[in-house]
Amino acid sequence: MKIAVGLSGGVDSTLTALLLKEQGHEVVGLTMALYNGDIPNLKVAGDACYGPTEKQDIKEVAAWCKSVGIEHHVINLSEAYKSTVLKYFRDTYLSGETPNPCIMCNAGMKFGLLIDEAKKQTDFDAFATGHYARIEKGPDGFILMRGVEAKKDQSYFLYRLTQEQLAHTIFPLGQYTKAQVREMAKERDLAVADKPDSQDFYAGDYADLLQVEDKEGKIVLTDGKVLGKHNGFWHYTIGQRKGLGIAYPEPLYVVDLDPHHNRVIVGTEAETKRTSCNIVRPVWGVLANGKTDFKCLVKYRSAGQLVPAHVFETKDGVFQIDFETPQKSLTPGQSAVLYDGDLVLGGGFIK
């Protein structure tokens, strides 16, 4: 089988390509070029998907592919990335919500446009990445599943993939732990065996990407009392505790953002907790098709735990999640992903 592998230069994607090659598949490497330099003064340091280090990463990937005999293509998607992922990122932040660009990039770019554009240059039967997730074929279609190592599971970032995308996708690392992956990379003398994982899609301050002038506003308690000032609500996110720069008898957290009046609203830990939230723009896997009222497990932040909840439709396209116990810092704009054990049922954006 001829399999295209999304290669970023990290240990996961590199090992994925090598494992498939060892299994006898014909492997072709695909690397997205996302940064075209038109946003000035971006931070260079750090391992991230977007930024000035991209050129060096691509150079290293191309050299490695040549050394092991893998066909390699660089697919320039910088304009599409700017008009979709970066625009979504800016619009969401400036509306007072917190985006997750990786989820949008996976669904629209990595498992979408990258494949479409790559097929104009070379043909392949399937697409593979180094994500820690699994795919199972059920009687009604393909089911996205968590990776075997809960701490490294990346199904949260993939929940918006369609049946068509899942049908042609392979996740060779989903059955391994991160420690096993690094050990296998060392056994194969891969130079990236100890390369740090990417921590985010951009290594610097998010304000670098928003390209808006700082604007002084007020930090207020939930009762309206003014506690301090800030330089723009977009520098904050719900649940944030550090960096508030205000003194108070007990720890304070950001509990809401008011973009219309440029206010950051803070409260105590108790005020961060909610028993329910709504999700919009939901997508459903085959196991949840037609369901409008069910119990499941929910993850509402990428590094969070699975928590039990009751989910039901309140009106067309809007679902309410009632948690069994109060949850801290439910963040509008982020995704809530619903599970039946290890199986992904679907998810949507918290509103």
For position 79, what pLDDT does the model report? 95
Instruction: Provide the token pair at 347.
Output: 């998810």
Task: Select the CATH number that applies to the domain covering 273-350 from these four: 3.40.1360.10, 3.30.530.20, 2.40.30.10, 3.40.1160.10.
Answer: 2.40.30.10
- Strand spans (E) along 107-243: 126-128, 133-138, 141-146, 169-170, 200-202, 217-221, 226-230
Find tokens 């820690």 and name the residue. Answer: 132
Least Cα distance to 328 among 297, 292, 302, 301 occurs for 301
CATH architecture type of domain 213-267:
Roll (2.30)
pLDDT tens per residue across all 351 residues of the chain: 999 999 999 999 999 999 999 999 999 999 999 988 878 777 665 567 888 888 889 999 999 999 999 999 999 999 999 999 999 999 999 999 999 999 999 999 999 999 999 999 999 999 999 999 999 999 999 999 999 999 999 999 999 999 999 999 999 999 999 999 999 999 999 999 888 887 678 877 788 889 899 999 999 999 999 999 999 999 999 999 999 999 899 999 999 999 999 999 999 999 999 999 999 999 999 999 888 999 999 999 998 999 999 999 998 889 999 999 999 999 999 999 999 999 999 999 999
pTM for the predicted model, two decimal places: 0.93
> Which pLDDT value is given to residue 300?
97
Q: Given this model, what pLDDT does residue 208 score?
A: 84
CA distance linking residue 7 with residue 4, whole number of Å: 9
Which residues have a Cβ under 8 Å from the Cβ of 5 and sit 6 or more positions away? 13, 16, 17, 20, 27, 28, 29, 30, 127, 128, 129
In 48-110 the beta strands, taken as DSSP E runs, fall at 48-50, 71-76
CA distances from 192 to 32, 60, 195, 249, 293 (A): 19, 10, 5, 47, 46
Neighbours of 271 (CB within 10 A): 15
pLDDT of residue 199: 67
Q: Report pLDDT for 274.
A: 96
Q: Work out the angle at residue 309's Cα, subtended by the Cα atoms of residues 305 and 310, and round it to the nearest 5 degrees.
A: 160
Query: How many residues are present in the chain?
Result: 351
Instruction: Determine the straight-line distance between the first and last CA of the chain, rounded to whole angstroms.
Output: 43
H/E stretch holding 101 reads: helix 101-105
User: What is the distance between the alpha carbons of residues 25 and 68, in angstroms, rounded to a whole number?
Assistant: 13
Going from N- to C-terminal start, the domains of the chain cover: 2-130+172-202, 213-267, 273-350
Superfamily in which the 2-130+172-202 domain is placed by CATH: HUPs (3.40.50.620)
The per-residue pLDDT for 200 is 76
